Amino acid sequence: DTEVTQTPKHLVMGMTNKKSLKCEQHMGHRAMYWYKQKAKKPPELMFVYSYEKLSINESVPSRFSPECPNSSLLNLHLHALQPEDSALYLCASSPGVTLSSYEQYFGPGTRLTVT
Amino acid sequence: AQSVTQLGSHVSVSEGALVLLRCNYSSSVPPYLFWYVQYPNQGLQLLLKYTSAATLVKGINGFEAEFKKSETSFHLTKPSAHMRDAAEYFCAVTHTLAGGTSYGKLTFGQGTILTVHP
């Protein structure tokens, strides 16, 4: 099973709402990632978790708060977002982070619209 | 720092024609290179990867890519395009730190949208 699942598929939220995005993988991977992808652009890395610990935060605003409850789950908590945060949010996983040859497996994404 | 450049933001071919999507990389250390495909409103799917085992890499869906160090290129090809190949394609390189570790950073090119005409 090489699947990464993400819920919800679509999310519309107001600027004062609090919501969460969820990601799950059952491949035994020890690294998980959040990316943000704007229309007609490549994905941009936001966070990397390695062995359930945050290892990379790409200077993401604090209104985005990641959480890795266990090795299979990754959440992204959203609070007080801005309209410019509307994008496709992609989760990915890989066997680890210490080898450059590790490929990342991506989920289908959550399409977020902030109104 | 590693980077990739994809030449041509849009490529259009006829069904049955050769597909050639260009990617050049910049890296001060041996790179690990990847091609991903993204269909509309979906996530990214790995097509193939180069990790120095062989310069000609075969991937899924009939795609292959050849690593050419002298040209710093990793172009993606497919002998005969199908309508279902219409998608956006991303070349990516692992951000390799000193000592050969990655810490999970992938750097993507800007993407090439492939259109296939009947």
Quick check: B6 contacting A, CB < 8 Å?
no
Residue pair B20/B76 in contact by the 8 Å Cβ criterion: yes
Q: Any alpha helices (H) in chain B, and if so which ranges?
A: none
A111 or B55: which leads in pLDDT = A111
- Contacts A105 to B, Cβ<8 Å: 46
In which order are the strands placed within the sheet that holds B19-26? B3-7, B19-26, B73-78, B64-68, B56-58
Q: How confident is the model at residue B101 (pLDDT cuts 50, 70, 90)?
A: low
| Identity at A13, one-letter amino acid code | M
pLDDT in tens, B60-84: 999 999 999 899 999 999 999 999 9
B102 with A97: Cβ contact below 8 A: yes
B110 with A41: Cβ contact below 8 A: yes
pLDDT of residue B3: 87
Pick from B49, B102, B110: CB nearest A98: B102
Instruction: List all residues 6 or more positions away from B99 whose beta carbon is below 8 Å from its beta carbon.
Output: none
Q: Give me the total of CB pairs closer than 8 Å, taking one residue from chain A and one from chain B.
A: 74
A106 with B43: Cβ contact below 8 A: yes
Residues β-bridged to residue A3: none
Distance CA B49, CA A46 (A): 23
The answer for B 95-114 residues in CB contact with A (under 8 A) is 96, 100-106, 108-111
Residue B118 tokens read as 């009947």
pLDDT of residue B53: 75
- What's the per-residue H, E or C state across A75-90? EEEEECCCHHHCEEEE
pLDDT of residue B105: 81
pLDDT in tens, B23-72: 999 877 778 899 999 998 889 999 999 987 788 999 999 999 999 989 99
Distance CA B70, CA A93 (A): 32
Q: CA torsion A33→A37→A41→A45, rounded to 10°?
A: -30
Pick from B51, B103, B110: CB nearest A55: B103
B103 with A103: Cβ contact below 8 A: no
